[in-house]
Amino acid sequence: MDDTNSADAFLHALRAQPPGEDLSARLGQVVAGSLSKGLEVRLDADRSLEDLAVGRYVVMRTNNRLFFGMITDVALDNTNPAFEKTPPDFSNPFLRQIYLGNSVFGRIHISPMLMLDETDIAAGQPVPQPVKTIPGHYTPVATASAEEVAYVFGPEGEHVDEAGAKAHYFHIGDPLDMENVKITLNLERMVERSSGVFGKSGTGKTFLSRLLLAGIIQNNVAVNLIFDMHNEYGWEGSTEHHIQRKVKGLQQLFPGKVAIFTLDMSSSRRRGANPDYEVKISYDQIEPEDIEMLSGVMNLSEAQIGAMYVLRDRMGKAWLRTFLDDGALEAYEGLKGLAKELDQPPQTLAALRRKLDRLRRFDFISEERVDDSVSRILDYLQREHHVVLEFGRHGSDLRAYLLIANYLTRRIHARYVKLKEASFADPSYEPVPLVITIEEAHKFLDPAVASETIFGTIARELRKYNVTLMVVDQRPSGIDSEVMSQIGTRVTLALDSEDDIRAVFMGVRGASELRQVLAGLDTQGQALILGHAVPMPVVVQTRRYDSEFYRQMGFIEGETLQERAAQDIEELGGKRPKRLL
Amino acid sequence: MNHADPVLGRVLRSSTTGYTFGFSQAHTQPPAFGALVKTAVGDSHVFGLVYDQRVMDDALVRQIVASSDSLSEERIQDMRMRRQTPIEISVLSIGYEQGGTIYQLLPPHPPDALQPIFACTPDESRRVLTSFQYFRTVLDNMECPSEELLVASIRHGAGCQPPGQAQPYLIGAGRELTRLLAHDHQRLDAILRRLADFFNATHSLPEVPYG
Ligand SMILES: Nc1ncnc2c1ncn2[C@@H]1O[C@H](COP(=O)(O)OP(=O)(O)O)[C@@H](O)[C@H]1O
Ligand SMILES: [Mg+2]
């Protein structure tokens, strides 16, 4: 569909058509309801409930407004409860024709979503507004047309508003039961606050997140730092079909814009990637704060955590290396002597040492001084290169994943804070908006740690320092509710558990009604999107991540990487970062 | 009113809701239960449904029945021709026509004694019975067997429809009843089931779509 024409067609049809006249699309009429609880609609006798799935849009036209709503429940009703106790003989065609739709009938529940003002429609510029009232008794209800839905979401591509601000509308999927309409999502609004992609395992979270990230990259909306736990974002991902097929990673799609960093060079190479950088940290760079957030997975007690801080106060930067090194402990006359000196119970120190000793298994932690990975990542980000950090085999060890993600994010965030503060004096220091993607997000954001960890902080401070999160998670109920309520855009694939479903609706108006919609999603490839980046909640069949998508992202089969990279770099205009630190 | 129409009889008693007339047509059948008849009141025509027919006895009939003589067919017919008390037919008024408009309301005045009563033509019946407001009048009446009468009159109305229209007519009537009797599911079902038997026998055109 040509988007501008479709908007015109929509407006034209809207103006030409008197309220409630489109009989072919008519479903029924409003019979009761409220703004807070939604509308009750009695179906016309010739409409079958079975044709109406929850999640579908309807429109209600009154003299002054066009209301949009979503079907959030369907029900069977009757004029007399006696019909439930003594059902009439429905095998008789006459009785069936009389009763059906008259004495016994369908009823749908509609959640009002937004409205357009008639005066604005007449002026040709209707702006979707939140609903503040509801249509009156017996207002006709009709299924929304493709034009109406397309109009509300807006055409794919770049939009410039009156103030000159740019927004990119990204095609994220298609509405159910509706052809030729693209559902779009405002990427600028999405990255403005933290966002989340939820769904049980295998529903398509990773694929959908990769789609969103590709949109952000293609349109230069923000820079991304992706903690790629399962090595699916950077170079190549795979599908879970019985014949495993490879799908292109972000670097293959945007070779000049995406850098791959790795914690496990040999794994990355084996998978055909050619990482730009190998991330290593040294013992001396690790702070107790980095380890504290692993207290759950490392089973650290309060006392043991306290002891780490004491150790650092006493030994300085080298605390961890010294504490784990038998030779260095000699200076304190062994662990017992150290305990005495620090006024700590010796068992606490012994247990702590045993637990911290497991860090030695991580070969990305080095005894020697190493390059500063944080600066390296920032360097790339400030040049608007997106960084995918592959974990290789370490991705299967939650401790490694949590440690590194937390370690890097704390430091990157700290520098963003400095840059942002410097930018008040000199706007050229303004850091590029950054989106940090984490899988298994509940491990970082569970209520026990969310108040202390950097990820909880980022989610809560919104975009104050130009950093937001994209959390990808299969167990949203594990995420701290305060953090959850800060997640502006929520993309939710199928979820089974009641707790998880409740969690994704945390702080959403009309949530209980949308629950039915979520429960009705297919187990793969269908998502309910709500929040900041869409004008109203929407159910989509997600866009396919396939060769057609690659092509739309500008990927040309057979084009050499060098050619593509050169083009990407040219697009970036050879930007140089401004170094502060 | 066409005066060539045969007069079925004349009004014996009347009230606002209906009247009783004496049937006096020796050679024809009395109008059926549920049939539509009409009479004039001033410049309007009052329409009503036949809901009762009463054959009264008289001295002669009693005498014949009392005697044990064998009765010849001839004797019976002769007696019926010369009966001394008329067959009494009761009618429930359901509407009237004034100035070319049909109102399904009780008439302002009932017919006076001795007013002639006429049968309605199928065309007239169709016109009077196109709308269903009179259902209420029938259902609310305590004197007539209202469910039976309604079924009979709907069947009568369906029978007057042009070819192929009987079934849609029955469905329309049934849906009206679902509204009127929403509170009385058993009565509704009893009426509809009787109509259903008739509907099935009406092999006219395919099912009417809902709505
Ligand atoms: N948008 C999509 N395009 C193509 N395939 C998809 C899409 N979404 C899901 N799939 C299929 O579903 C499988 C599971 O998706 P994935 O994103 O790995 O699930 P999750 O991360 O939720 O466990 C993929 O391997 C792929 O075959
Ligand atoms: Mg995944």
ipTM of the predicted structure? 0.86
CB contact under 8 A, A44 and B196: no
Percent of chain B residues topping a pLDDT of 90? 71
**Cα A207 to middle of ligand 1, angstroms:** 5
Q: Indicate if A345 and A385 belong to the same structural domain.
A: no
Asked if residue A254 lies in contact with residue A569, where contact means CB atoms within 8 angstroms, the answer is: no
- Asked if the model's pLDDT at residue A577 lies above 50, the reply is no
How many other β-carbons are positioned within 10 Å of the β-carbon of residue B134?
23
Exposed/middle/buried for A297, CB within 10 Å: 0-12, 13-18, 19+? middle
* Closest C-alpha to ligand 1, atom 23: A202
Q: Give pLDDT, residue B209.
A: 40
Q: Indicate if A487 and A538 belong to the same structural domain.
A: yes
Domain boundary among A329, A361, A393: A361
Angle between the A346-357 and A302-315 helix axes, to the nearest 10 degrees? Answer: 90
What is the average pLDDT score of chain A?
88
Q: Indicate if A385 and A250 belong to the same structural domain.
A: yes
Report the pLDDT averaged over residues A428-433: 90
The ligand 1 atom nearest the CA atom of A542: 1
CATH number of residue A197's parent domain: 3.40.50.300
Q: How far apart are CA A554 and CA B164, in angstroms?
A: 64
Model confidence at A6, pLDDT cuts 50, 70, 90, reads low
Q: Indicate if A13 and A72 belong to the same structural domain.
A: yes
Q: Indicate if A371 and A500 belong to the same structural domain.
A: yes
Tokens of A472: 């990808």
**Cα A196 to middle of ligand 2, angstroms:** 13
Residue A181 lies in a domain: no
State the ligand closest to the CA atom of A230. Answer: 2
- Asked if the model's pLDDT at residue A243 lies above 70, the reply is no
Tokens of B34: 């549920």
Model confidence at B205, pLDDT cuts 50, 70, 90, reads very low
Tokens of A434: 């950054």
Report the pLDDT averaged over residues A123-132: 84
Q: Indicate if A303 and A434 belong to the same structural domain.
A: no
Q: How far apart are CA A327 and CA A319, in angstroms?
A: 13
* A108: three-class secondary structure by DSSP: strand
Q: Indicate if A101 and A37 belong to the same structural domain.
A: yes
| pTM (2 d.p.) | 0.82
A100: DSSP letter = B
- Asked if the model's pLDDT at residue B211 lies above 50, the reply is no
Model confidence at A143, pLDDT cuts 50, 70, 90, reads very high
* Closest C-alpha to ligand 1, atom 16: A204
**Cα A208 to middle of ligand 1, angstroms:** 7
CB contact under 8 A, B200 and A94: yes
Report the pLDDT averaged over residues A377-398: 92
CA distance A100 to chain B (A): 8
Question: Where on the phi/psi map is residue B20: left (φ > 0), alpha (ψ -120 to 50), or beta?
Answer: beta
Residue A412 lies in a domain: yes
Q: Indicate if A421 and A510 belong to the same structural domain.
A: yes
Q: How far apart are CA A237 and CA A255, in angstroms?
A: 15
Contacts of A95 in chain B (CB under 8 A): 192-193, 196
Looking at the structure of chain A, the number of domains it has is: 3
Residue A69 lies in a domain: yes
Asked if residue A391 lies in contact with residue A263, where contact means CB atoms within 8 angstroms, the answer is: yes
The ligand 1 atom nearest the CA atom of A207: 17
Smallest CA-to-CA distance from A70 within A27, A12, A124, A13 is with A27
Query: For B162-170, which contacts have Cβ atoms below 8 Å and span 24 or more sequence positions?
Result: B163/B204, B164/B204, B164/B205, B165/B204, B166/B202, B166/B204, B167/B199, B167/B202, B167/B204, B167/B205, B167/B207, B167/B208, B168/B208, B170/A94, B170/B195, B170/B198, B170/B199, B170/B202
Q: Indicate if A411 and A323 belong to the same structural domain.
A: no
**Residue A541 Cα distances to A133, A197, A528, angstroms:** 30, 15, 9
| Strand ranges (E), A213-328 | 223-228, 236-238, 246-248, 258-262, 277-278, 281-282
- Asked if the model's pLDDT at residue A541 lies above 80, the reply is yes
* Element spanning A296, H or E: helix A295-298
Q: Give pLDDT, residue B127.
A: 95
Q: Give pLDDT, residue A142.
A: 94
Exposed/middle/buried for B203, CB within 10 Å: 0-12, 13-18, 19+? exposed
Q: What are A447-485's pLDDT values in tens digits? A: 877 777 889 889 888 778 999 999 999 999 999 988 898
Smallest CA-to-CA distance from A279 within A234, A323, A218, A236 is with A234
Tokens of A348: 């606490």
Residue A424 lies in a domain: yes
What is the average pLDDT score of chain B?
89
Model confidence at B36, pLDDT cuts 50, 70, 90, reads very high
Q: Give pLDDT, residue A20.
A: 47
Report the pLDDT averaged over residues B144-161: 95
Asked if residue A487 lies in contact with residue A476, where contact means CB atoms within 8 angstroms, the answer is: no
- Asked if the model's pLDDT at residue A49 lies above 50, the reply is yes
Q: Indicate if A23 and A91 belong to the same structural domain.
A: yes
Contact pairs from chain A to chain B, CB under 8 Å: 59
Q: Give pLDDT, residue B174.
A: 96
CB contact under 8 A, B178 and A103: yes
Asked if residue A545 lies in contact with residue A247, where contact means CB atoms within 8 angstroms, the answer is: yes
State the ligand closest to the CA atom of A199. Answer: 1
**Cα A530 to middle of ligand 2, angstroms:** 21
Contacts of B199 in chain A (CB under 8 A): 94
Smallest CA-to-CA distance from A494 within A464, A520, A469 is with A520
Domain that holds residue A312: 283-361
Residue A166 lies in a domain: no
